[in-house]
Amino acid sequence: MFSRFNSLPRCRALHTAAHSAPFPKRTHSCGQLSPKDAGSRVVLTGWLLPERKGKSLSFYPLKDSSGITQLTVNHEANPSASETLSSINIESAVLIQGTVSLRPEYAQRPGPTGQIDVEVDKVTLLNPASDLPFVPSNVHNLPSEDLRARYRFLDLRRTALSNNIKTRSRVSHIVRSTLHSQGFTEVETPVLLRSSPEGAREFLVPTRQSHQNDPSEPLFYALQQSPQQPKQLLICSGAVDKYFQIAKCFRDEDGRKDRQPEFTQVDLEMAFVSWGNPHSPQAAASPASEQDQLWNIGGHEVREVIEDLIRKIWLDVKGIELPQNFNVMTYYDAMTRFGSDKPDTRFGLEIISISDLLSGLQRLPAAASTEEILECIVVRKSHEAEFVNASRTLEHEAEYFALTKGSVDSWLLKSRLARSIYLDLGPDHQAVVNEALQLQPGDHIFLAQRPRSPTGGSTELGRVRLGIFESAQQKGDFVATEQPHFLWVTEFPLFTHDDSDKDFLAQGRWSSSHHPFTAPMWQDIDALYKGDIEHVRGQHYDLVLNGVEIGGGSVRIHDADMQDRIFTQVLQLSDREKAPFNHLLQALRCGAPPHGGIALGFDRLMAILCETPSIRDVIAFPKTSGGTDLLFRSPASVDEKTLVQYGIQPIQNSRK
């Protein structure tokens, strides 16, 4: 059967041995030469790309990690070099000795080396490429992602990926230099910790040690989900006032395009951060901006550090000046206006509450008891024409009306959802809603109902909103602005029953929306102690960029009694579950300062900066979406003799 890989260059008989002898030191990289080097003798190294042959000259691109230089070789003037180059397989590693020449003006091209060539005098084959599963330089004929993952060492030779890796290094340097200049101390924390019920599934690491009271019981480490406890303990110690780390973290989560079992985060923690809005008491002395006034929780010191860091990264990497302060929105507003706890604010289509327009209308008993509300998204033909086609073809679960002259005055009366909530809907109510929504024939309307107090990460109309946006982009009807839209989302519910990722640990109990160390808003402490758990908000803040969460943090609990109460009475942890936190409780009782921090998802941040949809494109050696590594063939089985050393016995197959 014919395969496109049958067209790969075959290995030639000549020059098949690697050069294992001294050779000249290179003088320049392939992306370094310019017209000022014309006439200079140079030594270049790199990978040879396909020949473009003329009558008297042949042209060969030579590539290294810095760029590409075009080589020229004259068939008659230098037949030896010409013959050698033509016999070498593409993607082979070569050393070139030659002279820099200025191209004729008509042949010059934009780019770092587009004005010069290197006239080849001598060629040394350093190592032939004799077994290529694919040609990385042929970007128009790349194989599947799985095949490229299996040969990642070859895939990384592609310019797009190598540029991403270098950009990642550049941003790491900006992070370190910026935080060092602000008095932060970089501290490495342990990766091998103890298993604890902090939220996500953990990776366990077996040891050859056993329990002192039961030698048959093996002991395990857990790879850190984050440096959460170590960094809090570090701040509690007083040894470091401002900590940061570019930390490797591990979570045994289902694979997605923006998740990996091992990932990197920019992690920081600060002592003596504020509780509540610091601008309120001093408003007369130092007027706060509108966004400062919306930040009604503590941790404004963390916010200032992160906004400064993000501004520097975007200016350096993208050349974009970001505003001095990022917008702030509460979780409640995000969910009610956009149907998401990480709203993309680059486009409109805001959700509107129909129930607020019908506030005086009597409800059916079932709807009244559950406090269900009716809400809608309107796609107006006159104002949002770019979303109309997407609205017609979108697959969704909401109730939908395409308004015509015949239905514009009756759609609400025919609505299944409206009739399940309200008694005695009449034409007057229809007219009130139509006037408020300014509906016209040709408009599209999506309806859904939900509890008045939003929960979880998205609503039905929030998913519809994103679906319309993504569909309109795919159809080419809408192009999102290139200006990044950063947004802080604050005042999340402190506890939740609506996080499927934590159900395996919660088992019907409350779980922490963020983690169990997040402090409540001071206004809700009474509700916490009275047991009104669902109405307690946390001093938790997420940083969102274009609808993607790129970081999250909080003010921490520094009151040991409050922390113990949350462990015991709210989360209902058993003594065994609470044991991994005993040292933290002790540290809080030793004069721990108010503190807070944040972690930025470095992989997601880099994917956005490099404009790629997958974080795997910004990680040198990533896992697949299923969590496997096709290059290193991991995870892999281990023989029984090795397992015995760790006190582990394979489960026997009962059918054998």
| Contact predicate 10/83, CB 8 Å | no
pLDDT of residue 439: 95
pLDDT of residue 538: 96
Q: The domain 176-273+297-321+485-599: what is its CATH number? A: 3.30.930.10
- The b-or-e profile of 601-620 (16+ CB within 10 A means b, else e) is bbbbbbbbbbebeebbbbbe
pLDDT in tens, 64-116: 999 999 999 999 999 999 999 999 999 999 999 999 999 999 999 998 899 99
Q: Where are the domains of the chain?
A: 35-127, 176-273+297-321+485-599, 347-362+369-475
DSSP 336: H
Q: Identify the H or E element spanning 381.
A: none
| Contact predicate 122/99, CB 8 Å | no
pLDDT in tens, 137-174: 998 999 999 999 999 999 999 999 999 999 999 999 99
pLDDT in tens, 265-275: 999 999 999 98
How, if at all, do strands 595-601 and 548-555 pair? Answer: antiparallel
DSSP 75: T
- pTM across the whole model: 0.90
Q: How is residue 606 written in tokens?
A: 């880099």
pLDDT in tens, 608-638: 999 999 999 999 999 988 889 999 999 999 9
Place of tokens 């402190």: 494
pLDDT in tens, 324-370: 999 999 999 999 999 999 999 999 999 999 999 998 888 887 776 67
**Mean pLDDT, rounded, of the chain:** 91
The vertex-544 CA angle with 543 and 550, nearest 5°, equals 70
- At 519, the pLDDT band (50, 70, 90 cuts) reads very high
pLDDT in tens, 449-476: 999 899 999 999 999 999 999 999 999 9
Compute the distance between CA of residue 154 and CA of residue 150 in angstroms, rounded to an integer: 9
Compute the distance between CA of residue 16 and CA of residue 272 in angstroms, rounded to an integer: 65
Using a pLDDT cut of 70, give the percent of the chain over it: 93
The vertex-249 CA angle with 245 and 255, nearest 5°, equals 145
The count of other CB atoms within 10 Å of the CB of residue 134 is 19
Rounded to a whole number of angstroms, the CA Rg of the chain reads 31
- 3-class SS of residue 489: strand
- At 383, the pLDDT band (50, 70, 90 cuts) reads confident
pLDDT at 259 over 90: no
| Contact predicate 130/164, CB 8 Å | no
The DSSP code sequence of 17-49 is S---S--PPP-S-TTT--GGGTT-EEEEEEEE-
Nearest CA to 577 out of 587, 586, 567 is that of 567
Nearest CA to 111 out of 153, 79, 76, 63 is that of 63
Q: What is the fold, at CATH topology level, of the domain defined by 35-127? A: OB fold (Dihydrolipoamide Acetyltransferase, E2P) (2.40.50)
pLDDT at 654 over 50: no
pLDDT of residue 359: 86
Q: How is residue 317 written in tokens?
A: 């990497």
What's the Cα-to-Cα distance from 90 to each of 29, 48, 222, rounded to whole Å? 19, 5, 46
Q: The domain 347-362+369-475: what is its CATH number? A: 3.30.1360
- At 287, the pLDDT band (50, 70, 90 cuts) reads low
pLDDT of residue 365: 77
The count of other CB atoms within 10 Å of the CB of residue 7 is 11
pLDDT of residue 13: 43
- At 283, the pLDDT band (50, 70, 90 cuts) reads very low
pLDDT of residue 364: 82
Mean pLDDT value across residues 286-301: 80
Compute the distance between CA of residue 548 and CA of residue 607 in angstroms, rounded to an integer: 11
pLDDT of residue 279: 59
pLDDT of residue 282: 46
pLDDT at 135 over 80: yes
Q: How is residue 275 written in tokens?
A: 């509780």
How, if at all, do strands 214-223 and 192-193 pair? Answer: antiparallel
- At 200, the pLDDT band (50, 70, 90 cuts) reads confident
Place of tokens 């960029």: 545
pLDDT at 10 over 80: no
The interaxial angle of helices 159-181 and 300-318, nearest 10 deg, is 140
Compute the distance between CA of residue 607 and CA of residue 615 in angstroms, rounded to an integer: 5
Nearest CA to 553 out of 302, 187, 231 is that of 302
The interaxial angle of helices 331-338 and 460-475, nearest 10 deg, is 60
pLDDT in tens, 14-63: 446 899 999 999 999 999 999 999 999 999 999 999 999 988 999 999 99
pLDDT at 593 over 90: yes
- At 253, the pLDDT band (50, 70, 90 cuts) reads confident
Compute the distance between CA of residue 166 and CA of residue 71 in angstroms, rounded to an integer: 25
Compute the distance between CA of residue 141 and CA of residue 52 in angstroms, rounded to an integer: 18
pLDDT of residue 255: 64
Compute the distance between CA of residue 343 and CA of residue 545 in angstroms, rounded to an integer: 9
Compute the distance between CA of residue 510 and CA of residue 570 in angstroms, rounded to an integer: 7
pLDDT at 497 over 90: no
pLDDT of residue 503: 67
